[in-house]
């Protein structure tokens, strides 16, 4: 029941208590939402459950900001059951203590029973660890609100989740899903973001930057592409208009870039590429995230080349923390081309960093990852920080503040101290690479300077607020 798995990717907008394990400063004593998009959770379909129509519907559900679209009865009957079965891959094995579901929907779309199971293999045997019968009182109103925390009956470790919804007349809707627990080990760095991507969707685009990112150029040979270059946890790239030719094996080779519409700079945390987008037209900036489908034996990828999902936040709108632009991605080549109009020189990552600093005065250093609940830099962070070293060498008159920021999870005192220690760790790395200590200042801010409001426990907002910032003094 594929439609049900990708669905979960929308927990990226709505997941409850969450704290990124490797990169997010926060309170170590808090449980995290291991199923959140921003912690590397992603829906999948086991090979034996594959159905392309359902996969498309799942992706559509994600792009509309819902966890689960209504499932049509005929769709469910193909499996001989009216149950909706959802599958979800985590970034690493985890031990879950509590599941959380919630939303506000028509009462005939709320499941009567929800069961949760975990497995160590995407196509392996799942063990049921929790089941919940929605109280009858919640079906009295025409459009009831609900929010349930469901403890597990026993704690076991697993990397794959199965959620079974049952009890309606054949349509289901679940607006929020979370899995509170802890990763059993550090998340391994995902290093396959390199490539040229075609962006599909974005019909709700209503800003110049959004339009430039996904607009189809009708009656011309120009189309929108996303180009990404990865080195360790550091990822940089751009979105462009260009022409392409079909190559061997159905791969698309970019022939000519007619316009660079904007840049993306950031890094990989918990399998997710978090970035700052800078639009070339007006210099406006916004945050975003991109994730790729999980790769493992037993996961069906389908006959099309959909590889992932990207969202961009719009900080200037009233919908803080809400994904303003959501698109699906196909990868036409794993070898990226230069982010420059044909015949021109591509800017390096450090040059783009300097340009953004000049415009905004500060940049978010996504991809600077720490061990959980500690100030120890993870090895992959060097790729991002080495670009800062190049920036400092190229601009010897500049001074910088390294600011550590957390989300609001945990006590203010704990967050303040952890953010200070992590900022100091970054300064030690930079001075160890030859940057004069007199040019650097470490400051911890805890959760006192959020980029966006974290009201309603919005994990998209929390992900933006967990950051290391480089500020030009």
**Rounded CA separation 432/428 (Å):** 6
Angle of CA points 324, 329, 330, to nearest 5°:
165
- pLDDT at position 308 is 84
Structure tokens at 63: 């792009």
**Rounded CA separation 126/19 (Å):** 26
Q: How many Cα atoms are found within 13 Å in the side-chain-facing hemisphere of 388?
A: 36
Q: Report the relative pairing of strands 362-364 and 84-104 from DSSP bridges.
A: unpaired
Selected residue with higher pLDDT from 450 and 74: 450
Highest mean pLDDT among 88-92, 323-327, 362-366, 442-446: 442-446
Structure tokens at 40: 């590397």
Selected residue with higher pLDDT from 395 and 48: 395
Highest mean pLDDT among 108-122, 349-363, 427-441: 427-441
Which SS3 state, helix, strand or coil, does residue 346 take? coil
The whole-angstrom distance between residue 115's C-alpha and the CA centroid of its chain comes to: 26
**Rounded CA separation 294/91 (Å):** 9
DSSP count for the chain of H helices, then E strands: 9, 20
Q: CA quadruple 329, 331, 332, 336: dihedral positive or negative?
A: positive
How many CB atoms neighbour CB 276 within 10 A? 22
Q: What residues form DSSP beta bridges with 330?
A: 198, 306
Angle of CA points 53, 54, 57, to nearest 5°:
90
Q: How many Cα atoms are found within 13 Å in the side-chain-facing hemisphere of 375?
A: 19
pLDDT of residue 106 exceeding 70, the answer is: yes
**Rounded CA separation 111/339 (Å):** 47
The phi, psi pair for 357, rounded to 5°, reads -65, -40
The phi, psi pair for 104, rounded to 5°, reads -145, 110
Report in angstroms the alpha-carbon separations of 124 from 121, 198, 200, 299.
Answer: 5, 33, 32, 11
- pLDDT at position 314 is 60
**Rounded CA separation 281/132 (Å):** 51
Report the b/e string of 56-67 with b at 16+ CB within 10 A.
bbbbbbbbebbb
Q: Among the CATH numbers 2.60.420.10, 3.30.1330.60, 2.60.120.10, 3.50.50.60, which is that of 357-472?
A: 3.30.1330.60
Mean pLDDT, the chain, whole residue set: 78
pLDDT, average across residues 83-92: 85
Strands (E) across 270-369 are located at 272-279, 285-292, 306-313, 323-333, 362-364
Nearest Cα neighbor of 374 from 91, 17, 22 is 22
Continuous H helices in 199-307: 208-214
Going by pLDDT thresholds of 50, 70 and 90, the confidence category of residue 433 is very high
User: Which strands sit side by side in the sheet containing 440-444, from one edge to the other?
Assistant: 362-364, 467-472, 400-405, 440-444
Which pTM value belongs to this model?
0.82
Report the b/e string of 407-438 with b at 16+ CB within 10 A.
bbbbeeebbbbbbbbbbbbbbebbeeeebeee
**Rounded CA separation 313/413 (Å):** 29
Q: Report the relative pairing of strands 467-472 and 440-444 from DSSP bridges.
A: unpaired
Domain range 195-346, CATH architecture: Beta Barrel (2.40)
Q: Report the relative pairing of strands 400-405 and 440-444 from DSSP bridges.
A: parallel
**Rounded CA separation 70/77 (Å):** 14
Structure tokens at 461: 């907002």
**Rounded CA separation 198/217 (Å):** 13
How many CB atoms neighbour CB 342 within 10 A? 13
Are 2-183 and 195-346 in the same CATH fold? no
- pLDDT at position 171 is 67
Per-residue pLDDT tens over the stretch 10-43: 332 222 222 233 333 333 446 778 888 778 888 7
Crossing angle between the packed helical segments 382-394 and 349-360, to the nearest 10 degrees:
70
pLDDT of residue 371 exceeding 70, the answer is: yes
Per-residue pLDDT tens over the stretch 312-350: 876 544 443 344 677 878 887 888 888 988 778 888 889
What is the fold of 2-183? Jelly Rolls (2.60.120)
The structure tokens 């599941």 sit at 99
Per-residue pLDDT tens over the stretch 110-169: 788 899 999 999 888 999 999 999 888 888 888 888 888 999 999 999 999 988 888 876
Query: Please, what is the end-to-end C-alpha distance for the chain in angstroms?
Result: 54
Report, in this order, helix, strand and coil percent for the chain, each rounded to 5: 25, 35, 40
Report in angstroms the alpha-carbon separations of 190 from 40, 283, 291, 304, 367.
Answer: 10, 30, 10, 22, 12
**Rounded CA separation 375/408 (Å):** 18
Q: Domain residue spans in the chain?
A: 2-183, 195-346, 357-472
**Rounded CA separation 442/455 (Å):** 28
pLDDT of residue 305 exceeding 70, the answer is: no
Going by pLDDT thresholds of 50, 70 and 90, the confidence category of residue 92 is very high
């Amino acid at each position: 029941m594929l439609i049900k798995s990708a669905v979960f990717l929308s927990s990226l907008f709505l997941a409850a208590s969450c704290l990124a394990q490797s990169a997010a400063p926060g309170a170590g004593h808090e449980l995290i939402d291991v199923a959140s998009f921003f912690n590397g959770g992603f829906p999948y379909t086991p090979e034996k459950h594959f159905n392309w129509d359902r996969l498309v519907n799942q992706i559509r559900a994600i792009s509309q900001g819902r966890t689960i679209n209504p499932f049509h009865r005929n769709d469910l009957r193909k499996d001989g059951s009216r149950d909706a079965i959802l599958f979800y891959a985590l970034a690493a094995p985890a031990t879950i203590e509590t599941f959380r579901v919630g939303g506000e929907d028509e009462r005939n779309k709320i499941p009567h029973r929800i069961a949760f199971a975990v497995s160590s293999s995407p196509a392996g045997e799942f063990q049921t660890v929790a089941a919940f019968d929605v109280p009858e009182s919640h079906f009295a109103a025409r459009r009831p609100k609900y929010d349930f925390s469901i403890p597990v009956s026993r704690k076991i470790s697993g990397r794959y989740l199965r959620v079974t919804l049952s009890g309606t007349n054949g349509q289901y809707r679940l607006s929020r899903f979370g899995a509170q627990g802890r990763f059993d080990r550090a998340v391994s760095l995902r290093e396959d973001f390199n490539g040229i991507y075609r962006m599909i969707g974005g019909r709700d685009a209503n800003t110049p930057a959004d339009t430039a990112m996904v607009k189809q150029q009708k009656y011309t040979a120009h189309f929108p592409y996303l180009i990404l270059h990865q080195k360790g946890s550091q990822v940089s790239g751009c979105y462009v208009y260009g022409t392409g030719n079909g190559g061997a094996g159905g791969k698309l080779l970019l022939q000519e870039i007619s316009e660079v519409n904007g840049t993306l700079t950031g890094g990989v945390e918990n399998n997710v590429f978090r970035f700052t987008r800078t639009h070339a037209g007006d210099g406006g900036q916004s945050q975003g995230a991109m994730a790729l489908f999980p790769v493992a034996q037993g996961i069906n990828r389908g006959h099309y080349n959909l590889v992932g999902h990207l969202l961009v936040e719009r900080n200037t709108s009233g919908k803080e923390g809400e994904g303003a632009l959501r698109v699906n991605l196909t990868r036409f080549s794993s070898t990226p081309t230069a982010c420059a109009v044909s015949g021109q020189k591509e800017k390096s990552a450090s040059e783009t960093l300097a340009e953004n600093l000049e415009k905004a005065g500060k940049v978010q250093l996504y991809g600077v990852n720490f061990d959980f609940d500690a100030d120890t830099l993870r090895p992959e962070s060097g790729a991002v920080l080495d670009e800062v070293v190049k920036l400092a060498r190229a601009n010897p008159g500049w001074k910088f503040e390294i600011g550590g920021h957390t989300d609001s999870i945990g006590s203010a005192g704990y967050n303040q101290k952890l953010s200070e220690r992590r900022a100091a760790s970054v300064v030690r790395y930079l001075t160890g690479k030859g940057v004069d200590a007199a040019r650097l200042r470490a400051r911890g801010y805890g959760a006192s300077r959020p980029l966006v409001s974290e009201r309603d426990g919005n994990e998209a907002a929390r992900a933006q607020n967990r950051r290391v910032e480089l500020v030009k003094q």
